[in-house]
Structure formats: structure tokens, C-alpha cells
Amino acid sequence: MRIKKHFYPFIFIVQLLTVSCTTTTRESSLKDTMDAIVSRFYKDFTKLQLDTIGNDFILQYLSDKEKNDLASKYWIFEVNVPVTVSLMRDSAQATAPFWLAKSGFERTELKVKNSLSTYEVWQKDYEAGQVALGINGFDKHRPVYFISVRPTDPRAELEISPIFPVQQHFETMEVGSFTYHDWDGLTLTDVPDELEGQVLFTTIRGRAREAHLVGAFRNTDFPSSEIPDQVLLTWSGDPKTTMDIQWRSSTSVDKGMVEYWVKGTQDTLTANGEKFLMEDRLLQNDRFAHRFIGKLSHLHPGTTYEYRINNEIEGLSSVYSFTTDPAQPVPFSFIWTGDVHNSKVWGDMMQQAYRRHSESAFYIAAGDLVNTGLHRDDWDQLMAYPGEVFANIPFMAVPGNHDNQDGLGAWMYQEMFSYPDNGPATDMAELTYSFNYQNALFLMIDATLPIEEQTEWIEKQLKSTEADWKFAVFHFPPYNSIELYQDIIDEWGPIFDRYHVDFVISGHFHYYLRTKPIKEGTVVATPADGTIYLMSVGTTGKNKDMNPAEYAAIQFGADHLYQHVEINGYSLHYTSYGLEGEVKDSLVIKK
Ligand SMILES: [Fe+2]
């Protein structure tokens, strides 16, 4: 799927919003209603029942008040004049929303189409005032319904005041219009004359999850407990003097701290863990967990520290260690991987890489860390499979399209990792960021966010750095044999050229590619003249039979690779390794 142009922070719908009403009392939101229903499900039903629950059963089980909430709190707005609301429902959805016909919507003969779906058109007339619509269904049918509105009197001036979602975007109902922000390439191909020109309310496919109950419940292989686990190092500050330590416990653990000391000494310092509650409503064996972040600062550069987590209930974790970035120039190395997709083999490979290259200072992942970024059980696997590697070596990543799904944002990713808040905008904090290690600059870019809105920031970072080596890491590979990311090539390519980025590091297509050096879209003689674009894969490969493009220095299909990059002043040794430690590709650059 290509990058979204019409970014829209719909994430807030599911996460945060409650419906505000005109009186001073706070009315409950659809989310509150669903939270309470799911809580009652867990109390009343066994695991087997949860797995087999169906539509009719749910409707019998719910109270009238709950059904009323689900029929009226999904989409709310006000109109100043009488209107006709047209509701486009995918005819492939097995069960129509339970409230639709009951609330007075009538199915018409009209049809609206895009390249994937044919939508039935249902209509209802409303007086001036509030229009309140219900859920898409208890299934997770991702081509969710969307609506269009026209004034009953064509001469009337229609004004629409969104209430929920508060940030409603409008398009015009016509061929070529998009309906889903998370897939704006999917546009309408058939629009009946009668609907043409109406106000089209856009939405996101993630809304299919808001009332998901049928076949919805999941289990994690790694539920939280009182013993601190998922211990993880990242940086949100300067690698010379800071370290962020994250861990997890069950909700029965309210406190936790990091105890740390310079290796070989007795003086122990402490840093309290900032706690927050993480929820995955449909994770039946571990709905809630506490996550903690202990931020260590004022550390000495080039110093090895040992630490452990003390949560005062289950006592102490194992002792781990880390080393801060030295103040004086020293050779260093890092490891990076392409798509991970919570692969067990990747986790094993990280443990081998850690043994093989124990000197590496940090690890980088170029996105698609998990299959479904909205499922905490996937994140639990990602954290468990590498064992204790990332309790001892910082893990720095960017999100991929699987980490940021259905228009709901990479919110679970953000809860898992503490990264720098130095990106282009507050709503990109910890998603796009930069950090320096020794004489290298790392631009960690979330390419699932709008490309143009990050260009100025990228240029500013490159313009102001004194680093000898510059790396840009983002998920979508601009150059590849499947479909060029022309928007990235056009928008960022000239800046990578101007400031000479050494490597662009990506993933996404699950095969291996190292380009020849490229400048202004064409191959140039040496790495000193242009940028090398790399793509690799940490999980199982695909797209293995792609013909190499003329700009490919080397390209091959592969499963499970990792790359080791060693920098010593002005020379760089690059090696790609397979699972058994066999060398798959290598390169030396001297400046
Ligand atoms: Fe992927």
C-alpha cells in the first residue's frame, strides 16, 4: 500500500474521545459503552464462549440502553437545515448494522462503487438539528460505511457542525474521491447522478474495530506478571549521558525503580519508573498491563553501567549492563535489520548477532516490527523473542505500515518505545527523530506520516550537523523493483544529494537490495558522489524473483538477514549476514 496523502489523526477517536454534549454533564462515549460491555463479557463468559459469540447472541445480551448507545454514538453532527443522509454500506458485509433499518433508513436501488466494493445506498431524511448514527457492526468489516449529505431544499445553504468525530474532513461525492484516509488511493469509480456533488464525509477503516466482538478475542503467549519483564534500552536523550530503561509488570505492581551503578563500584543510584497503564481491550488473558520508563541522565560518557529493576514486590530483576557513548572518537559499530513482523527466527538471530558482535553499540530496525500494530500480543512476541539482548543494547526503530494501521496511528508503538521528541511536529514525537552517536547522524523517519511535512526538518538536521557519516532510516525503500516511491525520490532525494547522506536504510518489500551510489536519480561512480539505498529483511522473505534494476549493485531474495556497520573515523565496513553468520554482501567506504 502506498503512503497516505490525507493524513488525519483519527487515532484520537478510539483512544481518547468522549462525546461532549451541550449540558454540563458528561455523557458517556461509544468507547465507554464498549469498555463496559467487554468487561461484562469477561465476567459472564468462558474463553470458549468468547471465541464463538455471534451477532444474534450479542443483541440478545445487550441492554436497551447499550443498544441505543451503539445505534447513536458512532457518528454525530448537526445540520442547520433539513437534509437527506445517504449511507453507503458494503454489500459484502454479511450482516447489516442492527440499527440501520430500525432507525428509519431505507435501502434504495442506488449503488456506489470503488475497485474493491459495491456499496448499497441507504437513505433517511432528517430535520435541522442533530444527526446521530450507529456502529458499523460487531464484525471487523474494514470497508466501513461512509455517508454523504444534501439539503432537502437544493437552494438551502447547508452548514454542518461535527460533534463526533470532532475533526471531520469533507470531500465532494464524485468519481475519483477517496473515502478512507488510511487508503486514499482507493477512490470512487461509480457514483449515481443523484448523489453527485453531495458533501462526502470521509472516514478510516480502523473504525471497524470500535465495536468488534465477533471473533475478536485474542490471547498473548507472554502475559504480564509481578516479575518485571520486557526490559528494554532506548535513548530519548544524548547517548553520551542518558539511557531510557523500560519494563513491564502486571497491574498489581504500582511502583518500580532502576538501581544502577558504574560497573565495578558499590555506589548505587536510583531512578523511579514513570508508570502508565496500557490496555488492549480484546486481549482476554492480559487486558491491562503497567509499563514503566526509568530515564537515567547525567551519566558519564564512555562508561559501563550495570542496573536492575526493583519493583518492591517480586524483588529484583537480573542485572544487565550498558555502555554510554564515549566523549572521544573511537571506532564503533551498529546492527540494523529490515522488517521483523514479530518473527521468532528474527529474535533468535538477534541473540546470535549479539554473541557474534558483542561490541555493537545499538541496534536499528527499519519498520514493520510487528504484523498488527494494534495487537499487544504481537508486541509481546517482539519483546520476548530476542531474549535479553535489548536489556543490554539500545534498540532504535521507526514505524512501518504494519505498525501504523487502519488510520489509527502507531499508538501502541509509541507506548512500547521511548524515543527523542525532536521531530518535525508534536504529533510526530518519537516517530520521526534524530540522534547522534560518535561521528554519525541518524535520521529516523516515520515514512507512514506525510512526506512533505517532514522535508524541512530533514534538511535542517542535515544542514546543521557536523557528523562525518549520515544515515536516513525509514520503512519505504525509494528505489526497488516493485514500485518506485517517486514521491520520496522527488521530495527527499535532492536533500539527500545536497548534504550527501551515505546510506538510506529501508525495508518493506522483504528482499535484499543495495543500490549503486545514486545522485539526482542516476547512478554515479563512487559512494563519495552519491547515496547508497539499502533494503533488507529480518523476517521471512518474499518478492524473491524480482529482476534487478540497472541501479542495483546487488539484489537477491532472502529470508532473515541482519547488517553490521562498523565505523572507524573516515572508513566504514558494511556486511550483510544470513542466519548462520554467512556473509551475503559487503562493502568498504573510505572518505
Ligand atoms: Fe513488511
The pLDDT tens digits for 376-428 are: 999 999 999 999 999 999 999 999 999 999 999 999 999 999 999 999 999 99
| Residue range 219-227: mean pLDDT, rounded | 96
Can you give the pTM of this predicted structure? 0.94
Question: Which percentage of the chain shows pLDDT scores above 90?
Answer: 93
Q: How far is the CA of 203 from the centre of ligand 1 (A)?
A: 25
Q: How far is the CA of 298 from the centre of ligand 1 (A)?
A: 38
For the stretch 256-301, pLDDT in tens is 999 999 999 999 999 999 999 999 999 999 999 999 999 999 999 9
> Maximum Cα–Cα distance for the chain, whole Å?
82
First to last CA, the chain: 38
Question: Which percentage of the chain shows pLDDT scores above 70?
Answer: 95
- Residue 28: pLDDT band (50, 70, 90) is confident
Q: How far is the CA of 46 from the centre of ligand 1 (A)?
A: 35
> Is the separation of the CB atoms in 188 and 202 below 8 Å?
no
Which helix (H) or strand (E) element contains residue 411? helix 411-416
- pLDDT higher than threshold 90 for residue 323: yes
Q: How far is the CA of 369 from the centre of ligand 1 (A)?
A: 8
Q: How far is the CA of 482 from the centre of ligand 1 (A)?
A: 14
Q: How far is the CA of 476 from the centre of ligand 1 (A)?
A: 10
Q: How far is the CA of 500 from the centre of ligand 1 (A)?
A: 28
| Residue range 493-500: mean pLDDT, rounded | 98
Rounded alpha-carbon distances, angstroms, from residue 60 to 18, 57, 211: 26, 5, 16
Strands (E), 115-224: 118-126, 129-133, 146-151, 160-164, 170-172, 188-190, 199-201
Q: How far is the CA of 346 from the centre of ligand 1 (A)?
A: 13
Rounded alpha-carbon distances, angstroms, from residue 119 to 144, 205, 208, 488: 10, 15, 16, 34
Angle, vertex CA 144, rays to CA 139 and CA 148, nearest 5 = 145
- Residue 590: pLDDT band (50, 70, 90) is very high
- pLDDT higher than threshold 60 for residue 12: no
Bridging pattern class, strands 562-568 and 332-337:
antiparallel
Query: Which residues, 6+ apart, have CB-to-CB distance to 94 below 8 Å?
Result: 139, 141
Q: How far is the CA of 579 from the centre of ligand 1 (A)?
A: 18
pLDDT the model gives residue 274: 97
- Provide the residues around ligand 1 (an ion) whose CB is within 5 A: 339, 368
- pLDDT higher than threshold 60 for residue 24: no
Q: How far is the CA of 143 from the centre of ligand 1 (A)?
A: 22
Alpha carbon 263 to its chain centroid, in Å, reads 36
**What per-residue string of b and e applies to 478-487 under the rule 16 or more CB within 10 Å gives b?**
bbbbeeebeb
- pLDDT higher than threshold 50 for residue 141: yes
Query: Which residues, 6+ apart, have CB-to-CB distance to 444 below 8 Å?
Result: 364, 396, 397, 398, 419, 432, 433, 434, 435, 473, 474
Query: SS3 of 151, please?
Result: strand
pLDDT the model gives residue 16: 36
pLDDT the model gives residue 482: 93
Query: Which residues, 6+ apart, have CB-to-CB distance to 264 below 8 Å?
Result: none
Residue written as grid cell 440478545: 60
Q: How far is the CA of 402 from the centre of ligand 1 (A)?
A: 7
pLDDT the model gives residue 122: 98
| Residue range 486-507: mean pLDDT, rounded | 98
pLDDT the model gives residue 68: 97
Q: How far is the CA of 107 from the centre of ligand 1 (A)?
A: 40
For 502-517, give the secondary structure using H, E and C.
Answer: CEEEECCCCCEEEECC
Which helix (H) or strand (E) element contains residue 492? helix 486-498
- pLDDT higher than threshold 60 for residue 6: no
For the stretch 50-109, pLDDT in tens is 999 999 999 999 999 999 999 999 999 999 999 999 999 999 999 999 999 999 999 999
